[in-house]
Amino acid sequence: MFKQEHIPGLYNNRLFFALYFPQGMGDIGIIILTLA
């Protein structure tokens, strides 16, 4: 779907979705590590 919409691959990864659309404790952990 990302390729069809010509969205760069940079946005199709776990880090992007964890920072902008967190859905669980694992994503909260990624946010904390990013801020640290």
28 contacts 13 by C-beta, under 8 angstroms: no
pLDDT tens readout for residues 12-31: 888 888 988 899 999 999 99
pTM confidence score: 0.67
Distance, in Å, from the CA atom of 7 to the CA atom of 11, rounded to the nearest integer, reads: 7
Band of residue 33 on the pLDDT scale cut at 50, 70, 90: very high
Instruction: Decide: helix, strand or coil at residue 36.
Output: coil
- Name the amino acid, one letter, at 6: H
pLDDT tens readout for residues 2-14: 778 888 888 888 8
Say what the pLDDT of residue 25 is: 94
Distance, in Å, from the CA atom of 6 to the CA atom of 18, rounded to the nearest integer, reads: 21
15 contacts 27 by C-beta, under 8 angstroms: no
